Chains A and B, each alone.
Chain A
């Protein structure tokens, strides 16, 4: 009886280890996009819809009232293209048109573009941005959403026409 219990325990433990144990990072994992926020924002999760609102400036404040500071990756980067496709559901031209039209309509300004988003989010209160998992550094900012890596993105303009 005791032996059977032990065997059952070992089987369950083995199964748990197989399922839950951390697996080594694959190349795809390293291309997951982590949406990160400054630690001044008391928020655990951000939905894709909210994220879209923040980056299209349809929503200007965090629930606490602090102003949202969306920070984009460089326009011609792979990261920006992947984010644009996954979150904004736009092409580069569509995004560019959106901001051009918004500027004419109401003087809207597009979010700033920076090379080192992680550093900017760490420094700027209310900031939100995104980085590849491979560029993420533990303990600097909070992760609020993970966008799993998708198959090879369509080439950006700068890549297509170097």
Chain B
């Protein structure tokens, strides 16, 4: 602001100086004209020719003066215009642009075909169904050029239909499914309550490329699809099972520092450091131990004309601690004791690779997690008696996609076909958990706001026939 004002006043001074010079030149011209007039009376023949010369000189220079005058007037006009729009420029430079609201939603149609007598026949839903899976609203604010905030909320019909308990007659357990229907006592109307999930809510400070900060609840910067968040952006319908099973926390509450270096043209080296509550029974409310989870991501990418390449890795170490609180005495004084009921440390490594070239897309993600207990809980009923041992989780998938070269017929609409193979093993101490899932799909994007997807997936366990099912899914994802 200061600099611009200074420049404007400086330019104005230059303009004034030029006007003075112009006035001086005009004065000289007038003097010449007057002296020419007196010469005419004393020496008529020579004077006549001199008068002609002066007249020509005047005519010639007058047009130049006029042109200069016009240019200076134009220049003054431009300066005035610039001053008038100074306010507008300041708005662009430093302004709070208000809040921007946008989002996406998707609708699914799903049908599972399970093998008769398999475990999945009982677990999967028997009928085809429509599902409104995501309705995410974003509230994005840009307070200053370096300070912004984003809140992403996911609205859901859940917890309606949440199955809390299967019937298990040997243990005397009854089937329990949550019904969220309530009664408006004023109108006597019945309606079902839904829920809101906070996907992320953070403030971002971006002062310089190599060091930026995020504070709040942020998406864990691992892999590809967890960062490329949202069904309109993702190529496939379902996120990989590594995301669904939360083998890496999808989001963390804490701070994140990140930055970018430019080692060569079109080449980026990104780093991210995360410090958070880590995982816990109520980590989004508070941490139940002093050990903060730390993570580091490094990613190298090349963004060429025809070839785009990226490879990254994220490492994470965090403690999970659960506690209970018990009243120890009431009299003579009230006492409460805290007791740790479960504690483990998880060591995580996530790797991703993405190559895009000439319409092809090859991507892979791999996650490895070691869970090491210091205080073991009883084992899950499905996994047998005793206590939960330390275990390894391994997830990975590879995806190959090709965008058909149909620009001539479809203009900018794209059709992308893809195949992928996904491997999941949530707990290597349990055979049941090892599954393979090949997927064949197609993604049609008629515009940047809409994606239509269709995919067929075949899920099956490796060690036995308990899980064998075809799942056909269609999805309409809309950004707005």
Contact = CB atoms under 8 A, between A and B. Distances in A.
B479 A100 contact: yes
Contacts of A89: 305
Nearest to A56: B303
Given A65-B208, A67-B145, A120 B92 contact: yes
Interface string A95-129: 01100110111110100100000011011111100
B339 interface: no
A49 B262 CA distance: 11
Contacts of A49: 265-266
B228 A105 contact: yes
Interface in A25-73: 40, 47, 49, 52-53, 58-61, 65, 67, 69, 71
Contacts of A40: 3
B233 A125 contact: no
A91 interface: yes
Contacts of B100: 109
Interface string B385-426: 000000000000000000000000001100000000000000
B15 interface: no
A93 interface: yes
Interface stretch (B41-49, B80-88, B122-130, B455-463): B80-88
Contacts of A107: 138, 140, 148, 150
A61 B140 contact: no
A101 B233 contact: yes
Interface residues of A, number: 37
Interface string B221-248: 0000001111011000000000000000
Contacts of B305: 89
B268 A124 contact: no
A42 to B, nearest CB: 13
A104 B265 contact: no
Interface string A77-93: 00000000000010111
Contacts of B150: 106-107
Contacts of B260: 58-59
Nearest to B232: A104
B206 interface: yes
Contacts of B228: 101, 105
Nearest to A125: B93
Contacts of B448: 93, 96-97, 100-101
B89 A124 contact: yes
A105 B230 contact: yes
Given A59-B209, A67-B146, A103 B227 contact: no
A101 B209 CA distance: 21
Contacts of A59: 209, 260, 262
B449 interface: yes
B411 to A, nearest CB: 8
Interface in A113-153: 119-120, 122-127
Contact of A119 (B85, B93, B97): B85
A28 B64 CA distance: 30
A94 interface: yes
A94 B142 CA distance: 25
B109 interface: no
Interface in B57-95: 81-82, 85-86, 88-89, 92-93
B104 interface: yes
Interface string B100-113: 10101000000000
B82 A60 contact: no
A94 B412 contact: yes
B4 interface: yes
Contact of A58 (B146, B207, B227, B268): B268
A67 B148 CA distance: 14
Nearest to B151: A107
Contacts of A122: 82
Contact of A100 (B3, B146, B449): B449
Contacts of A69: 92-93, 145
Interface of A: 40, 47, 49, 52-53, 58-61, 65, 67, 69, 71, 89, 91-94, 96-97, 100-101, 103-107, 109, 112, 119-120, 122-127
24 contacts: A49-B266, A53-B262, A58-B303, A65-B207, A67-B145, A71-B92, A96-B448, A100-B232, A100-B479, A101-B228, A103-B138, A104-B229, A105-B227, A105-B228, A105-B229, A106-B150, A109-B140, A112-B92, A119-B85, A120-B92, A123-B85, A123-B86, A123-B89, A125-B93
3 closest A-B pairs by beta carbon, nearest first, are: A93-B412, A123-B89, A107-B150
Given A97-B448, A123-B82, A124-B92, 10 more contacts: A60-B208, A67-B145, A93-B412, A94-B412, A97-B445, A101-B448, A104-B138, A107-B150, A122-B82, A125-B4
